[in-house]
Amino acid sequence: MQRQIPLILTGVIGFVMLLYFFVPHPFISGPGHFFEDAVIIVVAFAIVLGAANLLTFNGEIIARRGKDWPYKVVLLVSMFAMIAIGLVEGERYLEPETVFSWMYNTFYASMQATMFALLAFFIASAAFRAFRIRNLEAGLLAVAALFVMLGRVPIGNVISAHWPNGIQLPQISDWIMENPQNSAKRAILMGAALGVMSTGLRIIMGIEGSFARSGGNS
């Protein structure tokens, strides 16, 4: 039963949601709206579950002084500090003058922006060390990259300002993005969509039941 019940629930709900997309009749849309709301509630519980998991996982490492335990302390202290400050400041916690906003802007936003900004350094380093033109395909990729990188920034406008209309760097960049790039991307999107459809149908019809196997056998 531990396997059958989840499969039946998945099949029934999946079938209703599939119909709900095409059939606006209240007989279908009523349960459809209910399942939509249910998903939002279940996912909200998952946040609590995630926080509890974070606490137990890192708490255990801190207790036995495991690898990088001081960082785990920082993580948990930061999490509880943000929660506590948000609760104390109440409904106006997002106002610009609050401590919560100060901590958000000073720590969270700065650290996230720093992590993202580091990419620029590593991309430049990787371009020097790893981008090797060993064959025709790599050569084409390099040429396309050069045109797109130049065409997407103002320096490309300056370089090709007096070139004939139609072959200026931004226009070449746009052509690459809208034709070869878009064709390949669209093919990937269609392939992925077909894969999602087939996996979805397998799950709804109970053929793909691997997600329900961890519960053990009845």
Partner 1 sequence: MTSLLVFLAILAAVALVVAFLIRIPSVATTLARMRRLDRRWIFLAVWVLVMVPLLFPLKLPVAPTARAMQYYEQIDRLKAGDIVLLSADFDPAAGPELVPMLKTSIMQLCRKKVRIVGDCLWPGGPPLLEQAFSEVARDTFHYRYGEDYVNLGFKEGREAVMLAMGNSIPGTFPSDFRGTPVSKLPLMGKVTNLRSVKLLVNVSAGYPGTKEWVQQTQSRFNLKIISGCTAVSAPEYYAYLQSGQLLGLLGGMAGAAEYEKMAGVTGAATKGMDAQSSVHLLVMLCILLGNLAHWAARRLGER
Answer yes or no whether residue 129 interacts with partner 1 by CB under 8 A: yes
As measured in angstroms, the least distance from the Cβ of 104 to partner 1 is: 5
What is the rounded CA–CA span in Å between residue 76 and residue 195?
39
Quote the DSSP letter at residue 1.
-
If one asks whether residue 106 binds partner 1 (CB under 8 A), the answer comes out as no
**Per this entry, what is the length of the chain?**
218
Q: Hey, what are 1's tokens?
A: 């039963």
Q: Is 91 in the site for partner 1 (CB under 8 A)?
A: yes
Helix (H) or strand (E) holding 19: helix 4-22
Question: For residue 57, which amino acid is it?
Answer: F
CB of 133 to partner 1, least distance (A): 5
Among 64, 65, 67, 132, binds partner 1 (CB under 8 A): 132
Shortest Å distance, C-beta 210 to partner 1 = 22
Q: At what angle do helices 4-22 and 26-63 cross, to 10 degrees?
A: 130
Task: Note whether 101 binds partner 1 by CB under 8 A.
Answer: yes
Half-sphere exposure of 217 (CA within 13 A, CB side): 0
Interface with partner 1, residue 52, by CB under 8 A: no
Contact (Cβ atoms closer than 8 angstroms) between residue 106 and residue 98: no
Q: Residue type at 39?
A: V
Q: Are 151 and 169 in contact (CB under 8 A)?
A: yes
Size of the site for partner 1 (CB under 8 A): 65
Binding segment (CB under 8 A) for partner 1, from list 2-10, 57-65, 154-162, 201-209: 154-162
Interface residues toward partner 1, by CB under 8 A: 21, 33, 36-37, 39-40, 43-44, 46-47, 91-92, 94-96, 101, 104-105, 108-110, 112-113, 115-117, 120-121, 123-125, 127-133, 142, 145-146, 149-150, 152-155, 157-164, 167, 170, 174, 177-178, 181-182, 185-186, 189
